[in-house]
Amino acid sequence: MAKIPPKKIISPKPFLKKPILKKPILKKPVSKPEPKPVSIADLVKELNSFNVDNYWDLGKFLVDKVMPAARKQGLFEEQVMKMISSHPGAKFPFSVLKQCQQYYAYYPDVKKRPLAEVFYFELATKVNESRKREQYEKMALENKWTISDLRKKIRDDETARRIDERTKYGFDLRERNVWSFDTPDPRFGKPNTKGRIPGQIVANALYFYTNSGDYIVDPFAGSGTTADILDSLPFFSDRRWKMLDMNPADERIIRNNILQMGIPEQSASVDYLFLDPPKDFTFKDSTTDYDVSLEAAKADFVLKFKGIIRECARILKSGGRVSIICEPAFTPSGYIDFPNELINLFKDAGFKQIGKVYLPTHSGESSTKTTQSISDVKGVRMLNSDCRELLTFQKN
Ligand SMILES: C[S@@+](CC[C@H](N)C(=O)[O-])C[C@H]1O[C@@H](n2cnc3c(N)ncnc32)[C@H](O)[C@@H]1O
């Protein structure tokens, strides 16, 4: 971050002296003058005259002059700053304009405050809550902090907040719809098992889509990831569950081939199903299969999943939910939107979609390598999928 030097007052040229669009000359006098249009090119010229490190003055210019003019024309603050920063020749990126605007908006009186300006810049851009900013200011004064002390304290508090959030439920809670985890939580699932997903994905799905006392079934239990979570996290201790798989990894998992036996549960008895089907249910993962026709691949997929979804509809209670992990496929013969196929199948079976979460895959996962080798063999230019989707549906 740029250092903030002693205050240097730069008075920008009057704002919007020459509007770009000339209005037609009106013959009759009008009661209220029209607001002058914002000329982004003029703004960029003015903003570029600021020194990179004179953030307070830049913020003042944005808050006092640019924003009121923009508001008069019905533009939002962020919109204007994005327009300015993406204009050819603009010197300041959006993030810097935003920081400057926040800095001046929070501390218009910075010159009368007791700490050095750099402290307030740090507070304005790193701490959202005004009460917290006041507390940090007080602590910095009382303890005679350096700027490094303040930065460290803000960082440590943020880390503590995250740990606290994690331990509140026992796992990394995600509140947005992209769940990306660099490494699987070692407590859940068996290491080096093919197809094992980060347990954090399952824990978040259970958090968002199940309730106290729910009965949960995982028909593709694999290395026991779901079982480990339900077994060990106190937050889920009141859930009941059953794990099934064609190749059970331990004694908690019951042997079952879903394609032959369906899901061996009573009708209308299950609250939540977590489905993480094997890769070969969606796309043949052998290099010899790259010529498979798209229609044949889709037909095979639909056949398998129609049966599975019929079983989901049978065993779920009314209002019960099912989450399924799925990924689109890029093949030399075309793109197959498997998630979309699933959405249609679930809708046809009387479910409504209640969620969609993106699950970026991380390096070293097998699917990426296989598809890459196909494109190498064929010498074709082809994208690979690096993102699975977790779709969730509710039975009507
Ligand atoms: C992607 S893995 C599931 C991984 C699991 N979520 C985990 O984290 O360990 C898919 C699982 O489906 C199982 N499977 C494959 N075909 C099956 C079938 N016809 N019926 C039941 N399970 C099957 C495989 O044995 C594998 O364990």
Q: Dmax over Cα atoms in the chain, in whole Å?
A: 90
Distance 259 CA to ligand 1 centre (A): 12
CB of 198 sitting under 6 A from ligand 1: no
Using pLDDT thresholds of 50, 70 and 90, give the confidence band for residue 14. very low
Count of CB atoms situated within 10 Å of the CB of 64? 13
Q: Give the SS3 label for residue 364.
A: coil
> Does residue 154's CB lie within 6 angstroms of at least one atom of ligand 1?
no
Judged on CB neighbours under 10 Å (0-12, 13-18, 19+), 314 is: middle
Answer for the pair 387, 327: CB distance below 8 angstroms, yes or no.
yes
Count CB neighbours of 332 within 10 A.
16
Nearest residue to 243 via CA among 260, 219, 261: 219
How high is the pLDDT of residue 284? 58
Domain assignments of the chain as residue spans, ordered by start: 40-166, 199-395
Cα separation of 295 and 300, whole Å?
9
Does residue 251 register a pLDDT over 60?
Answer: yes
pLDDT (0 to 100) of residue 199: 96
Q: Of 308, 237, 231, whose CA–CA distance to 275 is shortest? A: 308
Q: Which residues contact 370 (CB under 8 A, 6 or more apart)?
A: 285, 287
Atom of ligand 1 nearest to the CA of 199: 8
Q: What residues contact residue 150 under an 8 Å CB cut-off, 6+ apart?
A: 119, 122, 123, 136, 140
Ligand 1 near 189 CB (within 6 A):
yes
pLDDT tens-digit map of 335-366:
899 999 999 999 999 999 999 999 999 754 44
- Closest ligand 1 atom to the C-alpha of 188? 8
**Dist. CA 339–CA 388, nearest whole Å:** 9
**Per-residue model confidence as pLDDT tens digits over 108-151:** 999 999 999 999 999 999 999 999 999 999 999 999 999 999 99
- Determine whether the shortest distance from the Cβ of 276 to ligand 1 is under 6 A: yes
Q: Are 92 and 44 in contact (CB under 8 A)?
A: no
Angstrom distance (rounded) from CA 42 to CA 288: 60
- pLDDT, averaged across the chain: 86
- The protein residue whose alpha carbon is closest to atom 19 in ligand 1 is 257
Ligand 1 center to residue 111 CA distance, Å? 64
Residue 377: per-residue pLDDT: 56
Distance from residue 276's CA to the centre of ligand 1 (Å): 7
Q: Minimum mean pLDDT among 2-16, 156-170, 200-214: which range?
A: 2-16
Q: Distance, CA 324 to ligand 1 centroid (Å)?
A: 12
DSSP of 151-212: HHHHHHHHHHHHHHHHHHHTS----SSB---SS--TTSS-TT-TT---HHHHHHHHHHH--T
Question: CATH class for domain 199-395?
Answer: alpha beta
Q: Is the CB of 223 under 6 A from ligand 1?
A: yes
Cα(36) to centroid(ligand 1), Å: 64
> Residue 58: pLDDT above 90?
yes
Over the stretch 64-115, which tens digit does the pLDDT of each residue have?
999 998 888 888 888 889 999 999 999 899 999 999 999 999 999 999 999 9
Which of 231, 245, 265 should be mutated for ligand 1, with most atoms under 8 A from CB? 245
Least confident of 259-263, 266-270, 370-374, 379-383: 370-374
Whether residue 321 is predicted with pLDDT greater than 50 in this model: the reply is yes
Asked whether 80 and 38 are in contact (CB, 8 A), the reply is: yes
The string of pLDDT tens digits covering residues 176-213 is 999 999 889 999 999 889 999 999 999 999 999 999 99
Mean of the pLDDT values across residues 154-169? 85
- Tell me what pLDDT residue 241 has: 98
C-alpha to C-alpha distance for 388 and 366, rounded to whole angstroms = 13
What separation, in Å, do the N-terminal and C-terminal C-alpha atoms of the chain show?
53
Q: Which two tokens stand for residue 201?
A: 């994905």
Atom of ligand 1 nearest to the CA of 218: 6
For residue 261, the number of C-alpha atoms closer than 13 Å in the C-beta half-sphere is 12
- CB-CB neighbours of 365 under 10 Å: 12
What Å distances lie between residue 43 and 36, 103, 205, CA to CA? Answer: 13, 19, 47
Q: Give the pLDDT score at 6.
A: 46
Residue having the nearest C-alpha atom to atom 27 of ligand 1? 222
Q: Tell me which residue of 394, 243, 221 sits closest to 318, measured CA to CA.
A: 394
